[in-house]
Amino acid sequence: MTHVATLQDPLEEVAPPRGRSGAAAWTIWLLRRLGLALLTLWLVSVLVFLATAALGDPVRAILGRDYNSNPGRVAQLEAQLNADQGLVSRYFSWLGGLLTGDPGTSLANQQSVWDQISDSVVNTLVLVFLSSLVMIPVAFGIAMISANYRRRRPDTWIQTVLLALAGIPEFVIGILLVFVFSTSVFHIFPAVTIVSPTGGPPWESAKGMVLPIACLVLAVVPYVSRIVRASLLEVLDSDYVELARLKGIPEPVVMRKHALLNAIVPGIQVIALQLAWLAGGVVLVETLFAYPGVGRQLVDSVRNHDVPMVQALAMIIAAFYIVVNLVADIISILLTPRARTAISS
Amino acid sequence: MTATAAERQATPSGGLVVEDLEVSLTSRPVDVVDDIDLVLHPGEVVGLVGESGSGKTTVGTSLLGYSRAGALISAGKVLLEGRDVLKLPWKEVRQLRGEEIAYVPQDPASALNPSIRIGKQIVELMELRGIGTSESRRQGARDGLAEVGLPNDDEFLKRYAHQLSGGQVQRVALAMAFLPKPKVLVLDEPTTGLDVTTQKMVLDTMAELCRAYGVSALYVTHDLAVVANIADRVAVMYAGQIVEVGPKETIFAHPSHPYTRALLDSIPHLSQARALRGIPGRTPAPGARPDGCRFNDRCSFAVDECRREAPALRTIAPDHEVRCIRVEEIGVWDINRGTVPDADPDRQRDVILSLEGLNVFYGRKHVVHDVNLDLAKGEVVALVGESGSGKTTISRSVGGLHKDWTGIVNFEGRELAKSARGRGAEDRRRMQYIFQNPYLSLNPRLTVEQIIRRPMELFGLAKGKPATDRVVELMEQVALGPGMLYYEANRLSGGERQRVAIARALAAEPDVMICDEITSALDVSVQGSIVALLEDLRKQRGISMLFVTHNLALVRSIAARVEILQAGRVVESGPVVSVMETPREEYTRKLLANSPSIG
């Protein structure tokens, strides 16, 4: 190309982006992150195992008062839990089972744990997925409207409502929703999820999904909106947004292209944390709407002292946390050119 | 006024006329700027000069019908080819921005969007307006980049802002502003923070483009020396008003407003050492401006009438207007006023600090190569170089803030430990470091008294009542009133903060002070008074100073010896007079040639 001034000044030389080794650098980076994720998961497995099987005698914990009166059941349980083996070998046989897709047998009904939990895992994933599908655009939309009207009346109203929603526990929101939409005011949606007698998935009846999803969306939107609004406000004060306005870029484009793109990363991190929380911790909502999900099953299993079930569910929830956060980190880096180019060079 | 207004209406098409512009705060009925009349003829560069807080940026963005949050344009006209920009519907104003009036921002590093590739940012506006085809726009971007002396291949267009240097980013911003072929350009201190070589390149590019396309430009800056090099006419602003406006030659040869003269008095010259003087007091904020002439409380010519009556701009010579009632009485100004002899190159030197074979590393990176220099008692040695030349690295190593270095630092014949932690209390007390950015170097939660007292208590010099007395004494020395004793640092202006930082260093009764670009974040008038202060300290207390700067003109006025650094090596060193009058190295000559100067 043209031989213009660049080389006149040695200080102008800035390392150009490296395209050649980019793919390799990305692969190495990704492998490292995956390795770290696996390491985390392994540590979780140690903790879960120690907490459920190693602290005290699991058989005694399971049987409680029956321990002394029912020696036959004790022997059966000990055989099932391999209680005669050492802790380490029990851990490794459990871990081996997990890795080969056989997390053991439920103590409560002697069925395979995997058969027991696979449905509820799918149910929860569907619930979380549908909720996030609604929640993400709503949260970002509210944040953008709010930031656009910063500290004027609409913004104040939105912030007040969001803060109130964030302050109400999610099951109270659920009860209010049931009150308004299914029992006392309107009768539009069913108050509980109807699982068909044939054992089909809960989303076969779309109407039954509306209230659980609405409840989860209302529980999560305030956090995400407030974080995105805060980072949007910061970006809107930046020099490059001012320059974009002085350049004559229309305000909606300024908001979408110049501001949102740079404010999205904190939002993604919060969304990841909230999704992980939804997957593991919305016991109350699942109970309220009788939704056959992971949270409810976990509570039931703990109540039944069903150690293999608790272990498997805990591992699945942990794995979901790790995967969601890993995905969020990758998306964040892809959306931040500075971090992205730092990896590929 | 009316006569001149009519005259302005007659200005040829193109160009821009500002009439009676007023911008006020939205919260209180207080003017940020008022009574602004300004004409930009086609192809003309007008410099708008003033200290921080004078409202110059506010005027700059008003030309695009824009005011920052909290302010609004409350009166006046901005006429572009007969249309009043301020009266147009906002859709048309937006249409006008970029295409007819373009803006080049202040801080190159933060003004480009970090997540949009520069090729896309350059053409963004034309894409939105649907001007040309995608191919013609891309070609336009390429041509624009070539014009500002940047590479224009696909690889460069695909870069992000953080992959460019400061000078490159600023030239990208220039190319972006010029691409839609605007008629008027507003440049807001576009070269602040760039070193002289890059600054020269950006200024030359800008001047060339303005000439080539007949663009009128408003160049907003606090740096009179820059204005002297590029502007056709100069308007000087103080406290929200224009106090003097005229052709560049007139302003620099016959400055008539006391403020303009005071500003010129505080500027160092390349060609001759000067006793720099600051302007006492500080620029009043909107709402706190004095009655009558707004400069009366800082003006050495003020009489009672100045305090009573607000003066209007008066024409005192063709095309030369001044807002002062005493213009005829205050005599003439001489550019050589304040000139002093250069530091004597043959002076007897009594070396207190010497560096032998200093090599500094950042990890595996070797950044400073084999530097030897020495500093005598009561002497100022300047370390000069562009950004990245290693001047700050050297001073941090000497001060013990960076410990990854080899070589010998001798302090009065004793070798100093590498890091400040390894040095004795006495050595630490006798060598004090003053940082570049006074906004970051003072703890915002401590009061001025606590900040200045701290070294005395630390080194056991004084405590209790005597310490407080000494704080007051030190504050007096750095020209801060005792009224500020209990202020927290965040209530102070930049210049006041830097004075507190100097007082803090003095509190330790040092023999050597390391001053790391201590005036580069400050207005020229504040720089002038700080330099005067340091000169007094050197003479009265015999304090030696290692003075890091990129400003060669400043070196001439403050230092006795100078070390020119390039890429971590000393390329030339010696007494200031000989280095600056008869430079031996090509690099030194280049630096001198690129330094903007009025003298």
Decide if B199 touches A, using CB distance below 8 A.
Answer: no
Instruction: Report the residue from B95, B153, B163 with minimal CB separation from A14.
Output: B163
User: Measured between beta carbons, which residues in chain B are less than 8 angstroms from residue A242?
Assistant: 68, 105
Distance CA B62, CA B18 (A): 10
The answer to whether B165 contacts A4, with C-beta atoms less than 8 Å apart, is no
Looking at residue B11, what is its pLDDT? Answer: 44
The answer to whether B103 contacts A240, with C-beta atoms less than 8 Å apart, is no
At a CB cut-off of 8 Å and minimum separation 6, what does A233 contact?
A147, A150
Count of helix runs (H) and strand runs (E) in chain B: 22, 22
Take residue B44 and report the two structure tokens written for it.
Answer: 């003309």
Helix, strand or coil for residue A86? Answer: coil
Helical pair A261-281 and A113-148, crossing angle rounded to 10 deg: 150
User: Measured between beta carbons, which residues in chain B are less than 8 angstroms from residue A16?
Assistant: 155, 159, 163
User: Measured between beta carbons, which residues in chain B are less than 8 angstroms from residue A245?
Assistant: 66, 97
Residue ranges in chain A modelled with pLDDT below 70: 1-21, 54-56, 58, 82-83, 194-200, 281, 345
What is the residue type of A341? T
HEC assignment per residue over A98-150 = HHCCCCCECCCCCCEHHHHHHHHHHHHHHHHHHHHHHHHHHHHHHHHHHHHCC
Compare all CA atoms of chain B with the CA of A19 and give the residue at the minimum distance. B155
**Residue the block writes with tokens 């304090």:** B543
Decide if B300 touches A, using CB distance below 8 A.
Answer: no
At a CB cut-off of 8 Å and minimum separation 6, what does B375 contact?
B351, B352, B353, B354, B381, B512, B544, B545, B546
Compare all CA atoms of chain A with the CA of B179 and give the residue at the minimum distance. A247
Compare all CA atoms of chain B with the CA of A5 and give the residue at the minimum distance. B149
The answer to whether A248 contacts B153, with C-beta atoms less than 8 Å apart, is no
Q: Show the domains of chain B with their CATH numbers.
A: 256-340 (no CATH), 351-594 (3.40.50.300)
Looking at residue B338, what is its pLDDT? Answer: 77
User: Measured between beta carbons, which residues in chain B are less than 8 angstroms from residue A233?
Assistant: none
Helices (H), A152-289: 153-167, 170-178, 206-236, 239-246, 251-253, 261-281, 283-288
User: Measured between beta carbons, which residues in chain B are less than 8 angstroms from residue A152?
Assistant: none
Query: Which of 3.30.230.20, 1.10.3720.10, 1.10.10.10, 3.30.460.10 is the CATH number of A122-304+313-344?
Result: 1.10.3720.10
**Torsion A192-A193-A196-A199 (CA) sign:** negative
Looking at residue B249, what is its pLDDT? Answer: 92
What is the residue type of B134? S
**Residue the block writes with tokens 């010129």:** B264
Interface of A with B (CB under 8 A): 1-2, 4-6, 9-17, 238-240, 242-250, 253, 257-258, 261-262, 335-338, 341
Looking at residue B8, what is its pLDDT? Answer: 43
Distance CA B337, CA B300 (A): 16
Helical pair A206-236 and A170-178, crossing angle rounded to 10 deg: 130
Confirm whether the ipTM is greater than 0.85: no
Distance CA B545, CA A94 (A): 71
Decide if B96 touches A, using CB distance below 8 A.
Answer: yes
Chunk chain B into consecutive blocks of 10 residues (it has 599) and report each block's average pLDDT, rounded to whole numbers. Answer: 43 76 89 91 91 87 88 90 88 89 82 89 88 87 86 88 83 87 89 78 84 89 86 93 94 92 88 85 83 90 89 90 90 81 82 93 88 92 87 92 92 90 91 89 90 92 89 86 84 84 92 90 83 89 92 91 92 92 92 82
Nearest CA-CA distance, residue B546 and chain A, Å: 24
Q: Kindly list the domain boundaries of chain A, sorted by start residue.
A: 28-99, 122-304+313-344
Decide if B128 touches A, using CB distance below 8 A.
Answer: yes
Take residue B301 and report the two structure tokens written for it.
Answer: 């010519």
Looking at residue A299, what is its pLDDT? Answer: 86
The answer to whether B160 contacts A338, with C-beta atoms less than 8 Å apart, is yes
At a CB cut-off of 8 Å and minimum separation 6, what does B422 contact?
B400, B403
Tell the burial category of A33 from Cβ atoms under 10 Å away from its Cβ (0-12, 13-18, 19+): middle
User: Measured between beta carbons, which residues in chain A are less than 8 angstroms from residue B105?
Assistant: 239, 242-243, 246
Q: Which of residues 474-503 of B touch A (CB under 8 A)?
A: none
What is the residue type of B359? N
- Tell me the pTM: 0.79
Helix, strand or coil for residue B237? Answer: strand
